[in-house]
């Protein structure tokens, strides 16, 4: 049975990855870190599974659709 994917917020993403806020957003722009998902009008987060894939192999991670 698959459990639903959790959404983690910025503070958790930074703590789990060890990245600075600036680096995380730069990597998102480059397509080398998962994109945010909108969870409310003013709220966003990241799919935990996507962040876990990045943590497992940050050098090889590419956002789907990136070259």
pLDDT in tens, 10-24: 999 999 999 999 999
In this prediction, residue 2 carries a pLDDT of: 61
> For residue 10, what pLDDT is reported?
97
pLDDT (0 to 100) of residue 63 = 73
What pLDDT, on the 0 to 100 scale, is given for residue 62? Answer: 83
Edge-to-edge strands, sheet with 7-8: 7-8, 44-47, 37-38
Q: Report, as ranges of residue numbers, the positions in the chain whose pLDDT lies below 50.
A: none
The structure tokens listed for 8 are 């983690």
């Amino acid at each position: 049975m698959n459990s639903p994917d959790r959404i983690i917020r910025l503070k958790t993403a930074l703590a789990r990855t060890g990245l600075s806020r600036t680096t995380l957003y730069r990597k998102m722009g480059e397509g080398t870190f998962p994109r945010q998902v909108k969870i409310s009008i003013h709220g966003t987060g990241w799919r935990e599974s996507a962040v876990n894939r990045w943590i497992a192999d940050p050098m090889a991670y590419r956002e789907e659709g990136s070259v």
